[in-house]
């Protein structure tokens, strides 16, 4: 009974620190992830947004066990990841990488790229594998005759389809997508996003969709997690976050995204703005966003705001925007 | 008028085919003083090649012809290398997409800016350093004096792009070509950089060519817009008019396939996007007739027959707004 209520993926209090060692200098600690907690349910897409250096990619690496977390727990259907059998783990979480030009082995044929996960993790016969690979190629929109081709024969969009097919071969429940469309041309982006939506419906997939592109995340996500320098600053349903952002950072992000028509910038004074995020190595004592924030109060420099419930979403701000 | 381009054609000699590859076909445009022209197009549309041609930076395998390629009365095509040096970097400057690869990682910011300044302006070392500090201050780099001693890897992406802009504007060029200046940057930094370009345009009366693949960026910042596809301009005009009422099926489809709710298209999240099928044709596989016809939903038999000319600022025999009137 209790198994039904457990979320597919439950991350709580995840921390990841990197130690920066330089000769003759004291060891510095870089806090890449601090107290990150979230859940992911079956057939749901959680969008993870934030600027470079906010810890999005570290999070993906920790979840796929490419990096060990410093502390905290990651549970898949109630079982801690280190307790899972590696083969079972790989058939639960898979990843699609940002750059389809670098994440495919140039010496392998498309068929082998897609077949390898099965050869390594299962005992299936070559005949079964062939059938499964051809079936998957069809599902991601790659023609059968492409199977003998090498990655350099494919266009960017086709390569990303190849990366998606490879990730799906073990029928994972969770797919981590790290900027899957940002290396693609605009007219190809929509094709790949559509494919991801179709596959999600077909295989009841859960996506952890990491991107910096707000329009993409708005289209594909059910819930959104906004990160800033390793911490969650706002976390909640898509409509709430996009229609009514409460954290000043979320608001800044949404305002900064350029709009095709009716942009906020039309015919106004252009200011030279220069605020930038502080370095992750020298984080302030208080809220990390305080140096760029317009709503700053003295309290912000003294302590780090906790995530608080604000009508169905979580916000980490002392002066969350009302309304 | 600052720059006048008429019927610019760029061919490349190729080992693979006997006939040269036609990379850019019949490109014509004008830029006035203090104007920002947006150029949108996907990879392979010929945007970057055109920019390199305007700077005389194409390799010898390129054959550049034009009825007219005038920059303030100078015929750019007849310049020799010495004359190019007076124009390139001095009158026409360029900022590149990826500031981290465009800056030399072995040299300090100071060396690289001062080198540019001294190559074009008759200044002493000290004066050049002072000018560099002034420029870094103008582009919004805090404590510019200390930053001069920094190496590119010590700068963030936004900072490095500011250094690139400082270098490009150090000679007060009349035309600045910005080739995807913010593609490698975060949205908040993108806004800072584009605002900076807008200040240069409006306050210093600089003309800017802003090349990007992001319709949002041109929508907010450029005055006029040129949409390129497979080496041709498919549509041109005022930015807001094109984005409100796209005439070419390619522009229309590009706008429609953008995810997210834009001002005029309310989208239901998690539904399929109207996508453009197929891919941009490679240089050596370009189709006969209209370049876009294999991917176009309005195509007719005529589209495959012959080259379509630019008419009323649209290169299409079935412009969308005409279709909707029928």
**What pTM value is reported for the model?**
0.89
To test the contact with chain B by mutation, choose from A247, A261, A271 the residue with the greatest count of B C-beta atoms within 10 A, namely A261
| B240/B246 Cα distance (integer angstroms) | 10
A30 interfacial to chain B (CB closer than 8 Å): no
A175 to chain B, closest Cα gap in Å: 17
A261 interfacial to chain B (CB closer than 8 Å): yes
**pLDDT digit string, tens, across residues A78-95:** 899 988 888 899 999 999
**pLDDT digit string, tens, across residues A220-250:** 999 999 999 999 999 999 999 999 999 999 9
Contact B225, B37 (CB under 8 A): yes
**pLDDT digit string, tens, across residues A104-152:** 999 999 999 999 999 999 999 999 999 999 999 999 999 998 999 999 9
Q: Do A270 and B240 count as a contact with CB atoms less than 8 A apart?
A: no
At residue A20, does pLDDT exceed 70? yes
Residue B100 lies in a domain: no
Instruction: Enumerate residues 176 to 195 of chain A having a beta carbon within 8 A of any beta carbon in chain B.
Output: 185-191, 193-194
Burial A237-276 (b: 16+ CB within 10 A, else e): ebebbbeebbbbbbbbbbebbbbbbebebeeeebeebbeb
Give the residue numbers spanning the domain of B308: 3-91+171-325
The structural domain count of chain B equals 1
Q: Do B274 and A190 count as a contact with CB atoms less than 8 A apart?
A: yes
Residue B81 lies in a domain: yes
**pLDDT digit string, tens, across residues B253-297:** 998 888 875 545 667 888 888 888 888 888 878 888 899 999 998
Which of A208-222, A271-285, B164-178 is least confident?
A271-285
**pLDDT digit string, tens, across residues B51-68:** 999 999 999 899 999 999
B162 to chain A, closest Cα gap in Å: 10
To test the contact with chain A by mutation, choose from B43, B150, B208, B260 the residue with the greatest count of A C-beta atoms within 10 A, namely B260
| B127/B133 Cα distance (integer angstroms) | 10
pLDDT of residue B311: 85
Q: Average pLDDT of chain A?
A: 90
Residue B28 lies in a domain: yes
**pLDDT digit string, tens, across residues A162-199:** 999 999 999 999 999 999 998 888 888 999 999 999 99
Residue B191 lies in a domain: yes
pLDDT of residue B325: 44
Residue B45 lies in a domain: yes
Residue B127 lies in a domain: no
- Among residues B290, B262, B258, B293, the alpha carbon closest in space to that of B275 is found at B258
Residue B63 lies in a domain: yes
Residue B313 lies in a domain: yes
**CATH number for the domain including B33?**
3.40.50.300
Confidence tier at B99 by pLDDT (50, 70, 90): confident
- Among residues A222, A217, A264, the alpha carbon closest in space to that of A239 is found at A222
Beta-carbon count within 10 A of B142 CB: 12
């Amino acid at each position: 009974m209790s198994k039904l209520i457990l979320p597919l993926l439950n991350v709580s209090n995840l921390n990841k620190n990197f130690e920066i060692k330089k000769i003759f200098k004291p060891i510095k600690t870089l806090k890449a992830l601090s107290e990150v907690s979230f859940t992911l349910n079956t057939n749901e897409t959680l969008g993870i947004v934030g600027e470079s250096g906010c810890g999005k990619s570290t999070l993906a690496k920790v979840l796929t066990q490419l990096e060990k977390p410093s502390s905290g727990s990651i549970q898949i259907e109630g079982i801690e990841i280190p307790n899972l059998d590696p083969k079972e783990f790989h058939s639960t979480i898979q990843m699609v990488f940002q750059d389809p030009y670098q994440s495919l082995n140039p010496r392998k044929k498309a068929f082998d790229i897609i077949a390898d996960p099965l050869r390594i993790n299962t005992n299936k016969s070559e005949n079964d594998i062939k059938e499964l690979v051809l079936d998957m190629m069809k599902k991601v929109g790659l023609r059968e005759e492409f199977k003998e081709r090498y990655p350099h024969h494919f266009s960017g969009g086709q390569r990303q389809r190849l990366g998606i097919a490879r990730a799906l071969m073990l029928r994972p429940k969770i797919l981590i997508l790290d900027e899957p469309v940002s290396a693609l041309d605009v007219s190809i982006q929509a094709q790949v996003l559509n494919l991801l939506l179709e596959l999600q419906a077909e295989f009841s997939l859960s996506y952890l969709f990491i991107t910096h592109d707000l329009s993409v995340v708005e289209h594909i996500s059910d819930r959104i997690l906004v990160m800033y320098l390793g911490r969650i600053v706002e976390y909640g349903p898509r409509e709430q976050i996009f229609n009514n952002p409460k954290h000043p950072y979320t608001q800044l992000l949404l305002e900064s995204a350029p709009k095709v028509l009716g942009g906020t910038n039309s015919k106004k004074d252009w200011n030279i703005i220069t605020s930038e995020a502080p370095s992750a190595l020298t984080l302030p004592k208080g809220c990390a966003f305080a140096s760029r924030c317009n709503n700053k109060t003295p309290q912000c420099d003294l302590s780090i705001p906790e995530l608080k419930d604000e009508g169905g979403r979580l916000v980490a701000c002392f002066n969350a925007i009302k309304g | 008028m600052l720059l006048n381009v008429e019927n610019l054609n760029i061919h490349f000699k190729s080992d693979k085919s006997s006939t040269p590859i036609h990379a850019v076909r019949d490109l014509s445009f004008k830029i006035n003083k203090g104007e920002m022209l947006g150029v949108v197009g996907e990879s392979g549309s010929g945007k970057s090649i055109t920019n390199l041609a305007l700077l005389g930076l194409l390799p010898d395998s390129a054959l550049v012809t034009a009825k007219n390629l005038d920059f303030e009365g100078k015929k750019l095509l007849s310049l020799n290398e010495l004359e190019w040096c007076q124009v390139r970097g001095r009158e026409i400057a360029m900022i590149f997409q990826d500031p981290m690869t465009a800056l030399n990682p072995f040299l300090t910011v100071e060396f690289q800016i001062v080198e540019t300044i001294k190559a074009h302006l008759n200044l002493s070392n000290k004066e050049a350093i002072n000018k560099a500090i002034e420029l870094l201050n103008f582009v919004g780099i805090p404590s510019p004096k200390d930053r001069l001693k920094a190496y590119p890897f010590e700068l963030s992406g936004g900072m490095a792009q500011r250094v690139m802009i400082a270098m490009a504007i150090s000679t007060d060029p009349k035309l600045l070509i910005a080739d995807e200046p913010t593609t490698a940057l975060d949205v908040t930094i993108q806004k800072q950089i584009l605002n900076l370009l807008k200040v240069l345009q409006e306050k210093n009366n600089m003309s800017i060519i802003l090349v990007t693949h992001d319709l949002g960026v041109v929508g907010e910042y450029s005055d006029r817009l040129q949409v390129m596809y497979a080496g041709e301009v498919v549509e041109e005009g005022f930015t807001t008019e094109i984005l409100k009422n796209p005439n070419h099926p390619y522009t229309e489809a590009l706008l429609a396939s953008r995810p997210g709710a834009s001002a005029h298209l309310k989208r239901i999240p998690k539904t399929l996007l109207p996508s453009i099928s197929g891919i941009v044709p490679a240089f050596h596989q370009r189709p006969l007739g209209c370049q876009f016809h294999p991917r176009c939903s309005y195509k007719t038999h005529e589209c495959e027959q012959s080259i379509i000319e630019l008419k009323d600022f649209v290169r299409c025999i079935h412009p969308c707004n005409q279709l909707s009137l029928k």
